[in-house]
Amino acid sequence: MYGPTKSGNQPADTGTAVDDTPTASAKPTLIGNRKPDELLSRAEAFFAQKGVKSLVVERDLGIVGVTGNDAELASLYLKCSDQPGPSNLDETYRILVQIFSAGEGSNIMVQVNGVAGLLAADGNDKVKPFACSSSGVFEKDLLEALRK
């Protein structure tokens, strides 16, 4: 039989992926003396300055986002070391910045997360992928730059 089956007394699968992170509890940071368009341009410039090429810029939504697997940037922006395993893991980061009006000023929300794992030469998982959390470095540096 293919497809979903009833699980009886077993707990239901929640369907969350490895790299999903809840955002409902995330609180925006208020920058009171800047407009969203100005901050969006400055955020784009910050990505470029850090060597991260902005892959998605959606001005109408106020979003700048990027994903990448540069080992140096991933090790700076992610904490993946709480998992046992080899130190040569492949890490992929995802950074999303949303800037929106707060009436007077702007709200900034920054989300940094990622996944680490290791593939064998045959393409199979040598180390199963697991979620990585933010080190806090990117968020702190971005917010400092936007407040100037």
User: How many independent structural domains does the chain possess?
Assistant: 1
Please give the pLDDT value at position 119: 77
Question: How much is the pTM?
Answer: 0.74
pLDDT digits (tens, 9 = 90+) for 121-134: 777 777 788 899 99
> Torsion over CA of 133, 137, 141 and 142, rounded to 10 degrees?
-10
Please give the pLDDT value at position 25: 52
pLDDT digits (tens, 9 = 90+) for 24-44: 456 899 998 899 999 999 999
The answer to whether position 18 is within a domain reads no
Q: What proportion of the chain, given as a percentage, has pLDDT over 90? A: 46
Domain that holds residue 56: 29-147
The answer to whether position 23 is within a domain reads no
Candidates 133, 130, 124, 99; CA nearest to 29 is 99
pLDDT digits (tens, 9 = 90+) for 44-70: 999 999 888 768 999 999 999 999 988
The answer to whether position 124 is within a domain reads yes
